[in-house]
């Protein structure tokens, strides 16, 4: 049993290689039936769909138990960790699943766990784990910086320990679908975390126009909005830094799944497509492209696997490893997705081909946490440089 004081959770389960393979097969089969290219396009092109299929989301929770996989058993979870989540996330990324999984099961759930507030965890996590409540983290603001030092949203204390929040949060993952918002705001004591439920007075949610319709973002406005303090006032900074790192690792795992699928499509097409009487894969230029794609894919895969193990073992290098994996996977996915379009030639540039869907997902994932420059600065900070 490994105790992770940074996340205030106990990892009581460790899946073996055979169990991980079974998990991957189960998730892959489920997504083959429920996250086809047609289904992805339908959700991505429909602004009223809120970025997910409620029926598929319900089945993910009720039949597969995916959202509760890495939650502690005392809060209704299965007690697994990031090595197991990695398998699920890779398959979701490969299928371009449209769902609030990362927003709710990673960003929101880990924000609650990092707060050290068992009462709040007991109140919210069982519903998040079952999928009956979709939650999200509202941290970034207009500048798009996922850093507690950039928070301008203000929380003021009222009578009898009540709190009210005023400010605007931007780039909130799956804000349109969320029923619970975990809002980072500054107080006299320092950065703090608050829970705000949809329908609360003064809360407004607006969907943003984004490059990737499969991963919607929203703007959340708060005007003297009543909120519930999570943890202690001024005590959220360290926990939220950790959550951003873990969120980046989750995105890295999704990206590895996506880039692997792009590489598979490119290799298959290079074998099938003939020009001048021979497969294009026999041409040196295509061989070099595929070789470069494979090298980057292997590096991203290795970095993500190593980071998941570091997090599971609560090693001192867990945060830098998670950020390194996110940076490596982000760069690899964008490169491989772009090269996939090139390998496919004219058909790859058309809207009818799925290559552009992967390219859009790659760009969106790379920029979600503030972009490449912010990610590199964050890594240097975690390394003490």
Positive/negative CA dihedral, 17, 21, 22, 24: positive
pLDDT at residue 4 greater than cutoff 80: no
Tokens of 186: 């500054």
**Helix extents (H) in the chain:** 17-34, 37-44, 54-62, 82-94, 101, 109-115, 118-130, 237-272, 284-312, 318-344, 355-367, 372-382
Strand, helix or coil at 195? strand
- Reported confidence tier of residue 12, pLDDT bands at 50, 70, 90: low
pLDDT above 70: percentage of residues in the chain? 97
Compute and round to an integer the Cα radius of gyration of the chain.
21
Shared domain for 246 and 227, answered yes or no, is no
Together in a domain, 212 and 159: yes
Of the candidate ranges 3-7, 168-172, 283-287, 361-365, the one whose mean pLDDT is the lowest:
3-7
260 in the same domain as 208: no
Which pair of tokens denotes residue 192? 């703090």
C-alpha distance from residue 101 to each of 61, 80, 92, 177 (Å): 10, 16, 9, 11
Please give the C-alpha separations between residue 3 and each of 40, 72, 89, 105, in angstroms, as whole numbers: 38, 11, 23, 20
> What pLDDT score does 180 carry?
98
Task: Output the six-digit token pair for 9.
Answer: 């959770």
Which of 111, 132, 153 is at the close of a domain?
132
Token pair for 20? 């991980």
Give the model's confidence band at 7: pLDDT under 50 very low, under 70 low, under 90 confident, else very high.
very low
Nearest to residue 237, comparing CAs of 176, 193, 200? 193
b/e sequence 343-363, b meaning 16+ C-beta within 10 Å = bbeeebeeeebbbbbbbbbbb
Q: What is the pTM of this model?
A: 0.94
Q: Do 85 and 142 share a domain, yes or no? A: no
How many C-beta neighbours within 10 Å does residue 74 have?
Answer: 14
Identify whether residues 270 and 290 lie together within a single domain: yes
More confident residue, 208 or 7: 208
pLDDT-above-90 percentage for the chain: 90
Identify the sign of the CA torsion 66, 193, 171, 198. Answer: positive
- Write out pLDDT tens, residues 89-136: 999 999 999 999 999 999 999 999 999 999 999 999 999 999 999 999
CA–CA gap between residue 202 and residue 224 (Å, rounded): 6
Cα–Cα nearest to 205, from 241, 239, 238, 180: 180
Using alpha carbons, select from 297, 298, 296, 294 the residue that is nearest to residue 281. Answer: 294
CATH of the domain at 192: 2.40.110.10
Question: Which range of residues forms the domain containing residue 338?
Answer: 238-382
Phi–psi pair at 17, nearest 5 degrees: -60, -40
Q: CA 364, CA 330: separation in Å to the nearest integer?
A: 10
Going by pLDDT thresholds of 50, 70 and 90, the confidence category of residue 11 is low
pLDDT at 9: 45
- pLDDT digit string, tens, across residues 159-195: 888 999 999 999 999 999 999 999 999 999 999 999 9
pLDDT 10s digits, 227-246: 999 999 999 999 999 999 99
Same domain, yes or no: 151 and 227 = yes
135-138 and 180-187 beta bridge pairing = parallel
Tell me: do 251 and 360 sit in the same domain: yes
pLDDT at position 177, please?
97
Q: Domain boundary at 75, 103, 132, which? A: 132
Last residue in a domain, options 132, 152, 173: 132
- Residues 353, 344 contacting (CB under 8 angstroms): yes
Q: What is the mean pLDDT of the chain?
A: 94
Residues 100 and 178 in one domain: no
Q: Are residues 152 and 215 in the same domain?
A: yes
Whole-number pLDDT of residue 173: 98
We report the CATH number of the domain holding residue 280 as 1.20.140.10
pLDDT for the residue 16: 86
Asked if 39 and 53 count as a contact pair (C-beta separation under 8 A), the reply is: yes
> How many whole angstroms separate alpha carbon 318 and alpha carbon 305?
12
Which token pair is 103? 């927003």
Is the separation of the CB atoms in 308 and 85 below 8 Å? yes
Per-residue pLDDT for 2 more than 70?
Answer: no
If you search the block for the tokens 């795992």, which residue do you land on?
253
pLDDT at 349: 84
Q: Are residues 278 and 347 in the same domain?
A: yes
**Smallest Cα–Cα separation from 112: which of 159, 149, 74?**
74
Label residue 131 left, alpha or beta by phi (over 0 means left) and psi (-120 to 50 means alpha).
left
Distance CA 360, CA 8 (A): 35
Q: Which pLDDT tens digit goes with each residue over 254-269?
A: 999 999 999 999 999 9
pLDDT at 196 (0 to 100)? 98
Q: For residue range 69-79, what is the model confidence (pLDDT) as tens digits? A: 999 999 999 99
Residue with tokens 């991957």: 24
Cα gap 338→317, rounded to integer Å: 32
Smallest CA-to-CA distance from 358 within 28, 37, 34 is with: 37
Please answer whether residues 348 and 262 qualify as being in contact, where contact means their C-beta atoms are separated by less than 8 angstroms.
no
Task: Quote the number of domains for the chain.
Answer: 3
Q: 368 and 245 share a domain?
A: yes
Residues 226 and 286 both lie in one domain:
no
């Amino acid at each position: 049993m490994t105790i992770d004081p940074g996340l205030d959770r106990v990892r009581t389960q460790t899946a073996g290689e055979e169990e991980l393979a079974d998990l991957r097969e189960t998730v892959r089969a489920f997504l083959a039936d429920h996250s086809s290219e047609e289904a992805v396009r339908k959700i991505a092109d429909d602004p009223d769909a809120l970025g997910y299929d409620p029926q598929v989301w319900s089945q993910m929770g009720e039949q597969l138990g995916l959202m509760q996989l890495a939650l502690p058993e005392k809060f209704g979870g299965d007690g697994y960790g990031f090595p197991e989540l990695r398998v699920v996330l890779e398959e979701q990324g490969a299928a371009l699943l449209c769902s609030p999984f990362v927003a709710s099961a990673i960003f929101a759930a880990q924000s609650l766990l990092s707060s050290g507030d068992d009462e709040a965890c007991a109140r919210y996590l069982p519903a998040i784990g079952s999928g009956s409540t979709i939650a999200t983290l509202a941290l970034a603001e207009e500048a798009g910086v996922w850093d507690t030092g950039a928070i301008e949203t203000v929380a003021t204390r009222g009578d009898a320990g009540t709190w009210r929040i005023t400010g605007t949060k931007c780039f909130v993952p799956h804000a349109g679908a969320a029923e619970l918002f975990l809002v980072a705001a500054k107080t006299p004591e320092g950065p703090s975390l608050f829970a705000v439920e949809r329908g609360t007075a003064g809360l407004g949610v607006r969907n943003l126009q984004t490059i990737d319709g499969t991963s919607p973002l929203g703007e959340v406005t708060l005007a003297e909005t009543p909120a519930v303090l999570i943890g202690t006032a001024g005590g959220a900074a360290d926990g939220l830094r950790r959550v951003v790192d873990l969120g980046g690792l989750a995105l890295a795992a999704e990206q590895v799944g996506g880039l692997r699928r792009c590489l598979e499509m490119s290799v298959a097409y290079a074998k099938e497509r003939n020009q001048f009487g021979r497969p294009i894969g026999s041409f040196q230029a295509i061989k070099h492209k595929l070789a470069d794609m494979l090298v980057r894919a292997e590096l991203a895969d290795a970095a993500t696997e190593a980071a998941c193990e570091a997090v599971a073992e609560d090693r001192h290098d867990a945060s830098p490893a998670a950020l390194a994996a996110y940076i490596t996977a982000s760069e690899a996915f964008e490169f491989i997705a772009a090269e996939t379009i090139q390998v496919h030639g004219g058909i790859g540039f058309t809207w009818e081909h799925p290559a552009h869907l992967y390219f859009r997902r790659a760009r969106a994932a790379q920029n979600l946490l503030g972009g490449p420059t912010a990610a590199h600065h964050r890594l240097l900070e975690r390394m003490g440089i």
